[in-house]
Structure 1
Amino acid sequence: MAGALGVGPGVLALLLLWAMALLLGMALARAGRARVAALPVVLGAAALTAALLLFPREGESPAPASAEEIVDSFFIGRFVLLAVMSLVFLGCLFLLLIYHLMEPVYAKPLHSS
């Protein structure tokens, strides 16, 4: 049962979940006092994603293999791409920490009258 764009309904549900979490997290991060509430939104989306991935709807026994098995011949390339993307993501988080979160706040000079 294929959904839109040739992917199944589970992938679409995860895409919708993370899109909503991203939008809500960005909206909460822009808010003044509710900035702290953005972290539980992301953690909740991660927990729900883990629950959806760890408890599949299908049975545990795989379907019987047919005469033609599909082989992923680009597995190594995908793994290398995932590793590079993970390193870039961690580098971006590090740069965010340095340049945004740890930016010094300078005191404004006092005016003496």
Structure 2
Amino acid sequence: MAGTILGVGIGVFILALLWVLVLLLCVLLCRVSGLARFSVIFVFLAALIITTVLLFFPRATDIPAPKVEMKIVDKFFIGRYVLLAFLSIFFLGSLFLLLIYHLLEPIYAKPLRSY
């Protein structure tokens, strides 16, 4: 596919750059005093409008016109299942650690005062 970087088009990078710049501008505007502080809302809404326009009105078609019959082959099948297994083990280990360190944490009684 022409015009792709790491398997995604240039539009994804434009949206990422837009939101990184908006986040930076919002952080800078939050530190300003006075009425300029509330311009964060307008910056966020402008970025939201630009994002919706770029998502709903793309310039290129979603599916290129097939010249020959395309055969879809999943080349990363085994790697995807290895990653799924690793994430499942990590998730179950995290639940086990949550059970040990958070839910089963002993609650010690406070000593009573004796007069």
TM range (shorter): 0.5 to 0.7
Are residue 8 (structure 1) and residue 9 (structure 2) matched? yes
Structure 2, unmatched stretches of 5+, are 85-115
Call closer, same or farther: CA 1:60–1:19 in 2, change over 3 Å: closer
Are residue 55 (structure 1) and residue 53 (structure 2) matched? no
Kindly indicate which of the two structures has a greater share of residues assigned to helix: 1
After TM superposition, list the pairs within 5 Å mapping 1:1-113 onto structure 2.
1-3=3-5, 5-33=6-34, 34-59=36-61, 63-64=65-66, 66-69=69-72
RMSD of aligned C-alpha atoms? 2.7
Following the alignment from structure 1 to structure 2, what is the Cα–Cα distance between the partners of residues 57 and 31?
38
How far is 1:57 from its partner? 0.6
Of structures 1 and 2, the larger Rg is shown by: 2
Provide the aligned length of Structure 1 versus Structure 2: 73
Following the alignment from structure 1 to structure 2, what is the Cα–Cα distance between the partners of residues 6 and 36?
39
Flag as ranges the 4+ runs of structure 1 deviating above 2 A: 59-67
**With CA pairs under 8 Å and 6+ residues apart, which has the higher RCO, 1 or 2?**
2
Q: Deviations over 1:31-59 (max 9, x none)?
A: 11111000110110010000001111124
How far is 1:8 from its partner? 1.6
Identity value in percent: 40
